[in-house]
């Protein structure tokens, strides 16, 4: 629940945009309670992360050194989470599943004796992942049937269900094939991030085929069986879905329909649509490809993330966090990134040779100045 008091008239205040330019903004003479808010709605914060909250007045970030208000942040229980003088929120050990109320108090700097402080509050749960209620609904509503409050609360407190996915789409192998055919898999932890873990491969019928610890398949006799891969995680066994494989006299590897390649040397690595995971509108799609021995990422003609300067494009294994994620495009240029990222339109960026796009599952858009996640796209291969 949010608690807001009466808000009083303001003279012009000085705000900073994402790109660091000073902009003089003249608000309406009377500021209503809806004019003050936190810059983002966080339903939960991961217990091992620190997040920065800013205060908005009339949709603009309020500088700590503004001349209109004294700005003070506070937590109603610092054993759950603390918030410092500039809005950095730090969850405390042992606080998972607990709720804390964070407040920002704006005291008008005025000689008017009737002026009173303005208070903005928000209740946040400490969880294993940082996620909003909309994001939780987005990732769990696979059947478009809606997500219950209990399901959202479970994701916030316990994270995503760990899962293993087999990468290859092999359904049939030749009993006489000479080259090794192998399977690989990825494990996604409770933050939905890829994590290295020891796999155990198994065949349901080793009289038809066997599979070793490296995922290499050996055909024994004609027939059909299933294989799966498992791993131990947090004291439990996590298993992939079973994959049905037929041993026959002909190998059939099912692949997606080929994408028309405008350049003979161009190979598509992955693609996807960009969607918003914030209050900002994001449109468009992306494509990752290899051309003449180099990797690139391109944004479509209809790409748009307007109103957010200082946009940064990452490759990430999380749809919500840029922790440890490499930057592939930004507003500034350097030797690795000679092309500047803009907020709309078609654009293509070379991915530095030190970054392997095959190792990542998502494209992530961030507003760097405000450490604000803007949107993401799952890399479909």
281-297 mean pLDDT: 91
Q: Average model confidence (pLDDT) for the chain?
A: 79
Q: What is the pLDDT of residue 84?
A: 93
Q: Collapse the DSSP code of 370 into the 3-class scheme (helix H, G, I; strand E, B; otherwise coil) and give the result.
A: coil
CATH of 169-253, picked from 3.40.190.10, 3.30.300.130, 3.50.50.60, 2.60.40.1080, is 2.60.40.1080
Distance in angstroms (rounded) separating the CA atoms of residues 84 and 78: 11
CA atoms of 318 and 378, how far apart (whole Å): 9
The pTM for the full model equals 0.47
Is the pLDDT at 368 greater than 90? The verdict is: no
Helices (H), the chain: 133-140, 149-158
In angstroms, the CA 48 to CA 95 distance is 10
pLDDT at 78: 95
Same fold, 13-127 and 169-253: yes
- CA–CA distance, 182 with 276 (Å, rounded to integer): 37
Residue 161: partners with Cβ closer than 8 Å, 6 or more residues away = 190
Which of 310, 335, 337 has the alpha carbon at shortest distance from 326? 337
Q: How far apart are CA 304 and CA 311, in angstroms?
A: 11
Comparing 320 with 149, the larger pLDDT belongs to 320
- At residue 170, does pLDDT exceed 90? no
Per-residue model confidence (pLDDT) at position 44 = 85
Do the Cβ atoms of 333 and 143 come closer than 8 Å?
no
Q: Which residues, other chains included, contact 219 with Cβ-Cβ below 8 Å and sequence gap of 6+?
A: 173, 174, 175, 177, 208, 209, 247
Residue 278: CB atoms within 10 A of its CB come to 22
Each domain of the chain, given as residue ranges in start order, spans 13-127, 169-253, 266-378
Give the pLDDT score at 143.
Answer: 44
Q: What is the reported pLDDT for 256?
A: 58
Condensed to tens digits (0 to 9), the pLDDT of residues 235-262 reads 999 999 999 999 987 545 555 566 554 4
Q: Which CATH class is domain 266-378?
A: mainly beta
User: Which CATH architecture is the domain 13-127 placed in?
Assistant: Sandwich (2.60)
Strand pairing report for 243-248 and 170-174: parallel
With a pLDDT cut of 90, the percent of the chain lying above it is 30
């Amino acid at each position: 629940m949010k608690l807001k008091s009466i808000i009083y008239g303001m003279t012009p205040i000085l705000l900073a945009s994402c790109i660091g330019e000073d902009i003089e903004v003249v608000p309406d003479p009377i500021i209503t309670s809806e004019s003050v808010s936190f810059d983002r709605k966080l339903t939960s914060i991961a217990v091992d992360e620190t997040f920065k909250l800013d205060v908005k007045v009339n949709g603009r970030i309020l500088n700590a050194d503004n001349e209109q208000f004294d700005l003070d942040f506070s937590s109603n229980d610092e054993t759950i989470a603390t918030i410092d003088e500039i809005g950095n929120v730090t969850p405390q050990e042992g606080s998972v599943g607990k709720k804390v109320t964070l407040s920002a108090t704006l005291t008008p700097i005025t000689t008017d004796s009737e002026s009173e402080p303005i208070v903005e509050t928000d209740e946040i749960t400490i969880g294993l992942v940082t996620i909003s209620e909309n994001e939780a609904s987005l990732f769990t509503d696979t059947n478009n049937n809606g997500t219950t409050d209990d399901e959202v609360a479970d994701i916030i407190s316990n994270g995503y269900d760990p899962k293993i996915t087999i990468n290859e789409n092999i359904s049939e192998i030749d009993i006489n094939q000479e080259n090794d055919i192998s399977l690989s898999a990825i494990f996604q932890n409770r933050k939905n991030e890829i994590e290295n873990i020891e796999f155990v491969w198994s065949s349901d019928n080793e009289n038809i085929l066997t599979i070793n610890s490296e995922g290499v398949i050996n055909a024994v006799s004609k027939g059909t069986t299933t294989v799966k891969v498992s791993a131990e995680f947090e004291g439990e066994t996590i298993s992939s879905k079973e994959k049905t494989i037929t041993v026959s006299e002909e190998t059939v590897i099912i692949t997606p329909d080929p994408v028309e390649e405008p350049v003979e040397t161009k190979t598509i690595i992955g693609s996807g649509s960009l969607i918003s995971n914030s209050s900002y509108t994001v449109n468009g799609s992306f494509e990752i490809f290899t051309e003449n021995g180099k990797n690139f990422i391109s944004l479509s003609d209809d790409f748009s993330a307007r109103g957010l300067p200082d946009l940064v494009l990452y490759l990430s294994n999380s749809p919500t966090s840029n922790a440890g994620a490499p930057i592939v495009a930004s507003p500034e240029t350097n030797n690795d990134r000679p092309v500047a990222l803009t907020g709309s339109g078609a654009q293509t960026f070379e991915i530095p040779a030190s970054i392997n796009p095959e190792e990542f599952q998502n494209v992530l858009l961030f507003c760097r100045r405000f450490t604000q996640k803007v949107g993401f796209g799952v890399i479909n291969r």
